[in-house]
Structure 1
Amino acid sequence: MASKKASDSTQAREGAVFVRKDGNIELRVRAKPGAKRSQVMEVGTEEIGISIAAPPRDGEANDELIRHLRTVLNVSKSDLYFDKGAKSRSKILILASKGLTVEQVVEKLKSDSS
């Protein structure tokens, strides 16, 4: 019998924000570039909808997404980075937890949407 080894990103997860096996927090984001301002629009069960105040070209929207989330989550530049999806609207970001819990991250994201 062949055994299957689950990778960090394919483990069972709960919602758009969860802790990976490596201890980091994974954020599943649906980016909406070209908005008037950057803001978390919703924290859904599958993805976090975020409007981005930058066009989707030359990496501008990705840069603004990271900048905005770093500000919302109050983390340093090296603590938040892309895992997958840098060229699509659906993205996976990794947050080096540094003591933050999933609940704290979700609360900070929700506070940006109000």
Structure 2
Amino acid sequence: MFSIQLFFIIALISCVTQKSFTKKKYHFVTVDDYDNLYIHVYVKPGCKKNKITDMDFSSISVDITTKDVGKECNEELIKYLAKVLQIKEDYLSIEKGESSDKKVVLVDETSKISQEDLEIRVAKAWRPLDVDAPEYKD
């Protein structure tokens, strides 16, 4: 009986310590076989200011100042993301969701930005006070 209790205590301690040292990351960025990055974005048009308002496990939420989802909104989104990611607008394009509020933005592999660097730059734009790239939540 004592050995079973000891086993469960050791298992519980190992789970707790392993979890505390594991960095959890968002997966709003995916990578294909050609090293192209895809950013999953939820766009909210008609806002006062262009900004990243939220990051959840599967996408980022971006406020855009243009009124309707469409060509103008897509252009504004590309300009804003290029500014946040510090890359040229030519490296970004809308892969899916041209007329939807849920979009997939392609970051061309020629931009030479890594997935980790992209995630850090987005996190800094979302929470500018966390200069050292915060540990990501689930």
Report the secondary structure of 2:27's partner residue: coil
Contact 1:40 1:113 in 2 (8 A): yes
Which residues of 2 match residues 25-104 of structure 1 at below 5 A? 25-56=37-68, 59-97=71-109, 98-104=111-117
Aligned-pair distance for 1:58? 5.3
Paired with 1:66 and 1:75, the residues of 2 have a C-alpha distance of 11
Larger Rg: 2
The structure with the greater share of residues assigned to strand is 1
Alpha carbons of structure 1 residues 82 and 72: separation in structure 2 relative to 1, 3 Å: same
Q: Percent identity?
A: 24
Q: TM-score, normalised by structure 2?
A: 0.68
The structure with the greater share of residues assigned to helix is 2
Contact 1:43 1:106 in 2 (8 A): no
Contact 1:43 1:109 in 2 (8 A): no
Alpha carbons of structure 1 residues 87 and 58: separation in structure 2 relative to 1, 3 Å: closer
Paired with 1:84 and 1:101, the residues of 2 have a C-alpha distance of 21
Q: Which moved more, 1:98-107 or 1:78-87?
A: 98-107
Q: TM-score, normalised by structure 1?
A: 0.81
Question: Which consecutive residues of structure 2, in runs of 5 or more, have no partner in the other structure?
Answer: 1-25, 128-138
Report the secondary structure of 1:46's partner residue: coil
Q: How many residues align?
A: 101
Aligned-pair distance for 1:57? 5.3
Paired with 1:95 and 1:78, the residues of 2 have a C-alpha distance of 9
Paired with 1:51 and 1:31, the residues of 2 have a C-alpha distance of 6
Report the secondary structure of 1:103's partner residue: helix
Alpha carbons of structure 1 residues 89 and 45: separation in structure 2 relative to 1, 3 Å: same
The runs of at least 4 consecutive aligned structure 1 residues that moved more than 3 Å come to none
